[in-house]
Amino acid sequence: MLDVKHLRKVYSGHGRTVEAIGDLTFHVAAGEFVTVVGPSGCGKTTLLRCIAGLLPATAGEIRVDGRPVSGPPPGLAVVFQEYGRSLFPWLRVADNVALPLRRRKLSTVERRKRVHDALAAVGLHDSLEAFPWQLSGGMQQRVAIARAVAYEPRVLLMDEPFAAVDAQTRADLEDLVRDVWRQLRITMVFVTHDIDEAVYLGQRVVMLSRSPTHVLDELTVDLPDERDQLGTRSDPGFSKLRARVYSQIRAAKAPVDLGKTAS
Ligand X SMILES: Nc1ncnc2c1ncn2[C@@H]1O[C@H](COP(=O)(O)OP(=O)(O)OP(=O)(O)O)[C@@H](O)[C@H]1O
> Beta 2-13 vs 16-28: how paired, if at all?
antiparallel
Cβ neighbors of 115 (< 8 A, separation 6 or more) are: 94, 97, 98, 101, 128, 146, 150
**How many residues lie near ligand X (CB under 6 A)?**
12
Q: Helix, strand, coil % (nearest 5) of the chain? A: 40, 25, 35
- Binding flag, residue 56, ligand X (CB under 6 A): no
Please give the Cα distance from 205 to 129 (Å, whole number).
38
Please give the Cα distance from 207 to 115 (Å, whole number).
35
- Binding flag, residue 211, ligand X (CB under 6 A): yes
- Binding flag, residue 46, ligand X (CB under 6 A): yes
- Binding flag, residue 11, ligand X (CB under 6 A): yes
Please give the Cα distance from 65 to 200 (Å, whole number).
27
Position among 31, 41, 53, 75 found at the interface with ligand X (CB under 6 A) = 41
- Binding flag, residue 42, ligand X (CB under 6 A): yes
* Contact assessment for residue 118 and residue 107, using Cβ atoms and an 8 Å cutoff: no
Positions in 116-145 near ligand X (CB under 6 A) = none
Position among 22, 27, 45, 243 found at the interface with ligand X (CB under 6 A) = 45
Q: Is the bond leading into 212 cis (omega within 30 degrees of zero)? A: yes
Of 36-44, 59-67, 96-104, 247-255: span binding ligand X (CB under 6 A): 36-44
- Binding flag, residue 153, ligand X (CB under 6 A): no
Please give the Cα distance from 238 to 219 (Å, whole number).
12
Q: How far is the CB of 187 from ligand X (least distance, A)?
A: 20
Position among 193, 210, 227, 242 found at the interface with ligand X (CB under 6 A) = 193
Of 22-30, 43-51, 104-112, 166-174: span binding ligand X (CB under 6 A): 43-51
Judged by CB, which is closer to ligand X: 12, or 220? 12
Site residues, ligand X (CB under 6 A): 11, 18, 20, 40-46, 193, 211
